[in-house]
Amino acid sequence: MAVPAALTEDQIYHRCPIEKLDFESTDTLDDLELPVGQERMLRALEFGASMQASGFNLFVLGPAGAGKHELVKRFLSQHAAELPVPADWCHVFNFKLPDKPRAIKVPSGEGRTLKSDMNDLVTELKTAIPATFESEEYQARIQELQEEVAKRQSEGLFEIQEEANRNNIAMLATHAGFTFAPMRNGEVIDPEEYKKFSDDEKELIETKVEELQKKLQQAIQQVPRLRKEVRQRIRELNEEMVQLTLGGPMGELREKWRHVPAVVEHLDAVREDVVEHAEVFQDGESGPPAGLLTRYRVNLLVDNADTRGAPVVYEDLPSHQHLTGQIEHRARQGNLYTDFTLIRPGSLHRANGGYLILDARRILMQPLAWESLKRILFSGEIRIESLERLYGLATTVSQQPEPIPLSVKVVLLGDRMLYYLLSHYDADFLDLFKVEADFEDDLDRDESSYSLYARMLATMARTAGIRPLAKSGVGRLIEHASRLASDQKKLTAHDRVLKDLMSEADHWAGQAGSERIGAEHIQQAIDEREYRASRIRERSLEQIQRGVVMIATAGEQVGQVNGLSVLQLGANRFGQPTRITATARPGKGQVADIEREAKLGGPIHSKAVMILSRFLANRYAPMGQLSLSASLAFEQSYGGVEGDSASVAETCVLLSAITGVPLKQSLAVTGSMNQHGEVQAVGGVNEKIEGFFNVCRQAGDVNGQGALLPASNVEHLMLNEAVRAAVRDGRFSIYPISHIDQAIELMTGLQAGEADSEGVFPEGSFNRLVADRLEAFAKAAEHKDDNGDTDGHGDGDDD
Amino acid sequence: MAIPTATETAMMTELPAGGSGQPAAKGRILVLLDGSRVGYVVLDVAAAIAARTGAELQGVFVEEQNLLRSAGYGFAREVGSVSGVSRPLDVTALEQRMQRLAEQSRRALAGAAGHYGARYQLSIARGSVVEEVLALAEPEDLLVLGRARWSTIPAGWLGSTARALLHRSPGRLLLWSHQQPPSHGRVVVFLNEHEEANQRAIAAAAEAAAYSRQPVTLLLAGEAGVAPDALATLKRNLGVPEPDVRVVPLPSSDPATVARVLRGEKASQLVLSRDCSLFREPGAENLLAALHLPVTITP
């Protein structure tokens, strides 16, 4: 198999053709209203925002820092601007059920007017009604009424008294009532003298007294009925006066609010209530109690007077209370009081008729908020209830405001994992969030995308309030965006990383006194970032340099190869070589993965070793038994190994151990391999190669070293300047390999050799050596069996 | 005509010297006690006046002869003022009741006087209430009483005792109202053509205004004809700063007009002379009874 040529500088770095950028500075570029390369997500947003059917709420999924929030808000604001402004909502007192305040919907912007109208009415009530009661007309009428009633009350008594007087009978008031006795000249006749009266006279008097007593009894028993009648007549008079006083202002208000029947209905209820409480208004000195007047006021819950288009609300703390609203209490002398004026709206109220943006992670972290949101979306109305009432923890009487119909589009922002977990575990989720808007992580990099990407960077710079970027700065940033995307044909869409980098570059440009951010400032920002995060990496390199961690970068060695690994620490990652060693001796076709045995290997790594094992058996002992007992280990690795990117290196080192052919230590290897020996792509190639390069550089001059990587990974290369310079000078070579044989040839300098139709490899080839050696192993194993040895009595390394 | 008292008991308690801190006034404060709720309210007012003026508080409890006689009849019954239930009435029970009320009145008098720091004396007599009070009353005394003794008398009517004493009391009379008058009203004085009567009314108003610190309104009846210099003297005698005195001419003395003007002035007290033209109008007594404010009637 032909050995691939080493990659050129152009192949390992996709330079940005700055000569094709037709601007000098980003301040001449127009802002980009919508982001580049997010067409799928934008179509989903457009669909979700316009779709009226219930349940078509949106979940915008993408990595943190991708700029989801800003983009969604901007998009929805533009979309919402075209939509009608939703209505205002007010809570008013419910005169029939005082614990259940009514909700009134008024056209947008008219809520304030209603509130002001009702406040004016209250002011009017405070002055006009007491004035009515103080008026001479009222006073005269009430006096007439009282006099009439008093007269009627006493009339009976006085008639009886008069009748008694006419019959010379005295009606005397006692401590507890009245009594009758015969009198003469205004004095009660002495009982002794009375005895001298004739029987006829006595009978006449006593009959009369008895008659008078009965009349008096009847008269007294009439009093409660009379009193009731008085109360009724006073009430009627009060009603009449209040109706007359309120007639004017109420009539005007009714006419003004004719277009909102609910308001008219409320006004009628207010008038009824004022009439009912007319007596309370009579106290001219202290006026009616504030509590009574408060009942006539309006709690303007949602005021859309200043809203343009449909509202777009972002709730940064989506707790149950903040979403659904709450009923506040006022402490008064150690007691808590509430009324309908203390009902506070939630973000769902404010977003009603528009859009509510929420962070999925935050709402899930707030106790019971997620359940509340789902319940509200299902029911289509907002019901303000405290959590303690909702879950039966408190049973005190409180306000239960009338639910408000809800028409809102909820837009959840979250990472992909949350979306998939919610889809899997929450049965309601997909019923309510039917629209998935998936954020692209990367954008395509081609000739046409440069100008758009430059405009995107210009927009970001303007939004962040930093210096404009010079053409060279844009070019360098585009190249770095490819590096961040780990792909020559992609550009990262990660908003935060780009913004942070630009802000840092702006800082360095400022330090350098430059008006624009140039390539050097971008580079400085990249270098400074790398330096700040380099402590661990440098400690690692130091360990290698001092020989504590053994890595050879020159010479040849049997059963030893440089594998490449990537370490992720926080937001930074770096590559470093790892020594992989192998041993081989006759056995029962076992390749022992020491990492797995020691429980330091992950499942993917174990899978890769099994593939490797099957590859060996299939290739070198297709018809016979693979008599091999081999072992593989990542030397000085204590933190665990995962992934299959070392399988090419492991194959090479195992074959070296079998054959005793040394491997070049100047080359590091990365790549995954399938059962047919084909090399497959892996991740983190830039970091891996740069990691090995750094080790080589630190060991002395880089001269003749290199790395092998899967050919399918070449387009992911965006290597740094130091590696590029070494490649340019031919001091460092990067070989793209597509088959294990290419790796063997590069690592050993021998021909790999292809099997003929009978499966025999050519003489002198590396593969022939492997096959011969394995055959020798098989014979040795047979001999061992013939001598009656068993594995159980051996050294046990076949297990 | 006074009926000779059968069991007259007089109790007198002198407070320690300097108890009131006031120089002894010429007259006494006479208050009619009958054990009624109205009576106790009036007693409280009288005790406060006595303490303020340094006058002696003279309580009068009269065992009504007519009532005792009526109880002597075998057919006598008492019809309950609220329930209308008729119960037998006999002398023994009535005597016991009167003794109990007299004792309650004595205690109430002692309590009120003690509370305000006034000297007091109680006179218990048997006979006609009006006659007994008139027998005790001197021209210098102030007689304090409610509009009606019993709550059984409907509101807005003057009791027969009050009606009789209104006309016959030799000295000043204060007809108390059971309703609270407005706290920031005016003392209203009804003037007439009788100069001496006016002087007496002004003296009473001056006392009331000084105590309550309220402004004064002088009502001039149309035909009163008070000369400007006489009016100036009266105003001076009030002892109230000029801006706090208002003179309001009355278009007519009929009770309705007077009631309207009193409301307009937010009257908190009314002072008028017994010779006042208002008393010559029909319905004047009813007006006094219906006004919910204290009325001082001067000789």
Per the model's pLDDT, the better-predicted residue between A262 and B287 turns out to be: A262
pLDDT, tens digit (0-9, with 9 covering 90-100), for A412-430 = 999 999 999 999 999 999 9
Long-range contacts of B95-101 (CB under 8 A, 24+ apart): B95/B68, B97/A175, B98/B63, B98/B68, B100/B35, B101/A175, B101/B34, B101/B35, B101/B61
B107 occurs within a structural domain: yes
In a domain, B81, yes or no: yes
pLDDT at B293 over 60: yes
Last residue of a domain, one of B146, B171, B196: B171
Q: What is the mean predicted confidence (pLDDT) over A639-668?
A: 94
Which of A9-18, A147-156, A229-238 is predicted most confidently? A9-18
Same domain, B167 and B41: yes
Same domain, B135 and B26: yes
Tally of domains within chain A: 4
Q: Look at chain B and report how many structural domains it folds into.
A: 2
Composition of chain A by helix, strand, coil, percent to 5: 50, 15, 35
* CATH classification at residue A78: 3.40.50.300
Domain limit, last residue, from B126, B144, B171: B171
* Chain A residue with Cα closest to B152: A177
B158 and B208 within one domain: no
Looking at the complex, does the CB of residue A8 fall below 8 Å from at least one CB of chain B?
no
Q: Mind listing the pLDDT tens digit for each residue in B83-123?
A: 888 888 888 888 998 899 999 999 999 999 999 888 899 99
Clarify whether residues B200 and B230 are in a common domain: yes
pLDDT tens digits along A247-270: 888 899 999 999 999 999 999 999
- In tens, the pLDDT along A718-734 reads 999 999 999 999 999 99
- Clarify whether residues B28 and B115 are in a common domain: yes
pLDDT at B222: 64
Could you give the CA distance from residue B142 to residue B124 in angstroms, rounded to a whole number?
18
3-state secondary structure at position A261: helix
Give yes or no for residue B15 having a pLDDT over 50: no
**Predicted confidence band of residue A606 (pLDDT cuts 50, 70, 90):** very high
Strands (DSSP E) found in A286-408 = 298-302, 312-314, 326-327, 330-332, 335-337, 343-344, 355-359, 381-382, 404-405
Question: Is the per-residue pLDDT at B13 higher than 70?
Answer: no
B37: how many CB neighbours lie within 10 A of its CB?
Answer: 12
Is there a domain that residue B251 lies in?
Answer: yes
In a domain, A103, yes or no: no
CB–CB contact B155 A174 (8 Å): no
Query: What pLDDT is recorded for position B197?
Result: 80
Task: Tell me: do A250 and A191 sit in the same domain.
Answer: yes
What's the confidence (pLDDT) of residue B153? 54
The pLDDT, as a whole number, for residue A712 is 96
- Average pLDDT of every residue of chain A: 89
The model's confidence at residue A89, banded by pLDDT at 50, 70 and 90, is very high
A741 and A598, same structural domain?
yes
Q: Do A181 and B85 touch (CB under 8 A)?
A: no
Q: Does A174 touch chain B (CB under 8 A)?
A: yes
pLDDT for A503 beyond 90: yes
Residues A423 and A275 both lie in one domain: no
Parent domain of A348: 38-86+307-439
Q: What are the beta bridge partners of residue B28?
A: B56
| Banded pLDDT at B180 (limits 50, 70, 90) | low
Q: How many contiguous H segments (helices) and E segments (strands) does chain B have?
A: 9, 13
Question: Is B233 part of any domain?
Answer: yes
Strands B77-80 and B86-88: antiparallel
Q: Which of A188, A208, A227 to mutate to test the interface with B (most CBs of B within 10 A)?
A: A188
DSSP single-letter state for residue B18: T
pLDDT at A385: 85
Average pLDDT over residues B205-224: 79
Confidence of residue A232 (pLDDT cuts 50, 70, 90): confident
Q: Is B73 in the same domain as B167? A: yes
Confidence class for position A386, pLDDT limits 50, 70, 90: confident
Same domain for A395 and A263, yes or no, is no
What distances in angstroms separate CA B252 from CA B187, B219, B256, B277, B296, one per listed residue?
20, 11, 9, 10, 21
**Residue B3 pLDDT level (bands cut at 50, 70, 90):** very low
pLDDT band at residue A583 under the 50/70/90 scheme: very high
B27 in a domain, yes or no? Answer: yes
For residue B106, what are the contacts with CB-CB under 8 A and spacing of at least 6?
A: B11, B59, B61, B122
Position B237 scores a pLDDT of 81
For every residue of B77-137, DSSP letters joined together read EEEETTT--EEE--HHHHHHHHHHHHHHHHHHHHHHHHHHT--EEEEEEEE-HHHHHHHH-
Nearest to A255 by CA among A271, A267, A239: A267
Start-to-end Cα distance in chain B: 22
- Cα distance between the two ends of chain A: 35
pLDDT at A556: 95
Residues A172 and A254 in one domain: yes
Residue A104 in domain? no
B176 part of a folded domain: no
Q: What is the pLDDT of residues B74-87, one digit of tens each?
A: 888 998 888 888 88
Residue A576 lies in a domain: yes
Torsion of CA A181, A182, A188, A189, to 10 degrees: -130
Percent of chain B residues past pLDDT 70, beyond the cut: 84
Q: Please check the confidence at residue A689 and state whether its pLDDT lies above 70.
A: yes
- Which residues span the domain enclosing B52? 9-171
- Residue A478's CATH number: 1.10.8.60
pLDDT score of B149:
61
Residue A433 has pLDDT above 60, yes or no: yes
Supply angle C-alpha B3, B6, B11, rounded to 5. Answer: 110
User: Are B182 and B264 contacting, i.e. CB atoms less than 8 angstroms apart?
Assistant: no
CA–CA distances in Å: residue A341 to residues A103, A302, A734, B82: 12, 13, 74, 47
Look at residue A476 and tell me whether its pLDDT is greater than 90: yes
User: Tens digit of pLDDT for each residue in A13-67?
Assistant: 999 998 888 899 999 999 887 788 888 999 999 999 889 888 899 999 988 877 8
- Assess if residue A180 is contained within a domain: yes
Nearest-by-Cβ selection for B76 from A139, A173, A181? A181
Which are the contacts of A353, defined by CB distance < 8 A and separation ≥ 6?
A: A84, A85, A86, A87, A304, A310, A311, A407, A408
Which among A532, A555, A579 is the end of a domain?
A: A532
B211 and B148: one domain? no
Are residues B214 and B253 located together in one domain of the fold?
A: yes
pLDDT (0 to 100) of residue B2:
36
Question: Do B145 and B227 have their domain in common?
Answer: no
The reply to whether A224 and A367 lie within a common domain is no
Domain membership flag for residue A97: no
Say if B177 falls within a structural domain.
no
Q: Kindly list the distances between the CA atom of residue A286 and the CA atoms of A127, A289, B263, in Å, as whole numbers in the listed order.
A: 11, 8, 18
Q: Does A448 touch chain B (CB under 8 A)?
A: no
> Based on the domain organization, do B133 and B203 belong to the same domain?
no
| Residue A679 β-bridge partners | A673
Among A150, A182, A216, whose Cβ lies nearest the Cβ of B79? A216
For residue range B26-65, list pLDDT tens digits in order: 789 999 888 888 888 889 989 988 888 888 999 999 988 8
> Within this chain, do residues B95 and B164 fall inside the same structural domain, yes or no?
yes
Instruction: Please pick, among A486, A565, A627, A645, the residue that the annotation labels catalytic.
Output: A645
Half-sphere exposure of residue A666: CA atoms within 13 angstroms, side-chain side: 18
The answer as to whether A368 is a domain residue is: yes
Does the active-site annotation cover A688? yes
* Average pLDDT for A327-332: 88
**Does residue A522 sit in the same domain as residue A553?**
no
- For residues A323 and A462, membership in a common domain is answered with no
CB A644 within 8 A of CB A685: no
pLDDT tens sequence across B133-165: 899 888 888 999 887 665 455 555 567 788 888
Exposed e or buried b per residue across B213-249, where buried means at least 16 C-beta atoms within 10 angstroms of its C-beta:
ebbbbbbbbeebebeeeebebbbeebebeeeebeeee
User: How far apart are alpha carbons A447 and A436 in whole angstroms?
Assistant: 30
When CB atoms are compared, the residue of A157, A175, A194 closest to B73 is: A194
Task: From A439, A459, A488, give the residue that closes a domain.
Answer: A439
* pLDDT of residue A327 exceeding 50: yes
pLDDT of residue B182: 63
Which one of B61, B67, B79, B99 would you mutate to disrupt binding with A, by most A Cβ within 10 Å of its Cβ? B79
Residue A216: its chain B contacts at CB < 8 A? 79, 84
Is residue A92 in a domain? no
pLDDT at B178: 67
B-facing residues of A in 120-159 (CB < 8 A) are 136, 139-140, 143, 146-147, 150-151, 153-154, 157
Confidence of residue B225 (pLDDT cuts 50, 70, 90): low
Instruction: Identify whether residues A526 and A509 lie together within a single domain.
Output: yes
Cite the DSSP H helix spans in A35-177: 39-50, 68-81, 110-134, 136-166
pLDDT at A284 over 60: no
Whether residues A59 and A194 share a domain: the answer is no
Looking at beta carbons, which residues of chain B come within 8 Å of A156?
Answer: none
CATH code where residue B198 lies = 3.40.50.620
- Among candidates A150, A209, A217 on the partner chain, residue whose Cβ is nearest the Cβ of B75: A209
Instruction: Report if residue B4 sits inside a domain.
Output: no
pLDDT given at position A744 = 95
pLDDT(A369) > 60: yes
Boundary (domain end) residue, out of A532, A562, A580: A532
Check whether residue B21 and residue B87 sit in a common domain. Answer: yes
**Secondary element (H or E) of residue A182:** strand A177-184
What is the pLDDT averaged over residues A138-152?
Answer: 76
Q: Please indicate, yes or no, if residue A291 is contained in any of the structural domains.
A: no
Q: Do A272 and A182 fall within a single domain?
A: yes
Which of residues B171, B199, B225 is at a domain's end?
B171
Name the A residues in 276-305 with CB < 8 Å from any B CB. 285
